[in-house]
Chains A and B, each alone.
Chain A
Amino acid sequence: MTENMGWFSRTLNSIKSIQIRPTLSQVITLGLVVSSALIIWKGFMCMTGSESPVVVVLSESMEPGFARGDILFLSMSNDPIRAGEIVVFNIDGRSIPIVHRVIEVHERPDTGEVNVLTKGDNNDENDRILYAQGQKWLQRRHIMGRAVGFLPYVGWMTIIMTDRPIIKYIIMGALGLLVITSKD
């Protein structure tokens, strides 16, 4: 009887030790991956001063400079906005920010307030048609950042995933399965 109990508890212990520790270490690894990704993102935000330091180009309005699927690195410093810079701006009542080039700047002497006009390199007309009804100029508050760096193609995954959410779920499922089943 005692012999039997000893065997039983030993087996139970060995099962426990096998199951819990690797699972815990897997959870910790997963946590590390997630938190380091978050740290990198937040670190980028601190370094660039921009709320969204990386954007994916969604339209063809800046061809051939920027194509659909390219990614841009943004920075938002206190430097004044000047003609020629590629800025990312948000129009009131529009959800998707636009990346276009500044073609006109008028800056007030005392307040430093600016009136800015933009245009896409590949568009024939300036952006007044894209602005809100009756809006003639962009102000500083519309501008989220200026493009400083460029990396081609990397954003295609994002575009595919937003166009076809099913692919996003398949990838997430596959990754999750990999994490659960991987032994090392």
Chain B
Amino acid sequence: MHSFGYRANALLTFALTILALMCAMASFSDNLNHPTPTAQVQVLNINWFQKQPNGNDEVSMTLNISADLQSLFTWNTKQVFVFLAAEYETPKNSLNQISLWDGIIPAKDNAKFWIHTSNKYRFIDQGSNLRGKEFNLTLHWHVMPKTGKMFADKIVMSGYSLPEEYR
């Protein structure tokens, strides 16, 4: 009954239960954080704007992104994945989301940033609908925890539009 194996088993079970409970509590504690992130994005320049030989519109732009995501970080946060997506509607698609830039924020100290960049991923439409198109730029973030549930949210910034002519 009180053999070595029996005691080792009881100890292991108890240790694993406590560990699981602590993980669950750490994940739950993320719900107590109410973040208030802020972001601004400016389209500084349309570098070029053309129709590809296959008929799809493609645009290249220079962006200025500044954001303060420090309030997203808690003790259970491993990293925050942040990306900026262009979102718009066309006759063909009710929703188009195209990621233009993304980054990984490893720590709270890096969470207040400012970046001047051209789009990291290609901004290509399915078709030729981008001339004069109004679009939203949405800053999404995805909080990856040390353990437990993942969180995601976004800030939508509207009122951007593309030029009427290719250039």
Give A residues with C-beta under 8 Å from B.
64-66, 82-86, 101, 103-109, 115, 121, 126, 147-152, 178, 182, 184
Contact = CB atoms under 8 A, between A and B. Distances in A.
A152 B81 contact: no
A103 B78 CA distance: 21
Given A65-B81, A184-B1, A83 B150 contact: no
Contacts of B106: 64
Main SS of chain B's interface residues? strand
Interface string B127-150: 000000000000010101111111
B150 A84 contact: no
B150 A149 contact: yes
7 contacts: A83-B85, A83-B99, A84-B142, A86-B142, A106-B93, A121-B81, A149-B150
B146 A105 contact: no
A84 B5 contact: no
B121 interface: yes
Contacts of A152: 146-147
Given A84-B152, A148-B149, A178 B140 contact: no
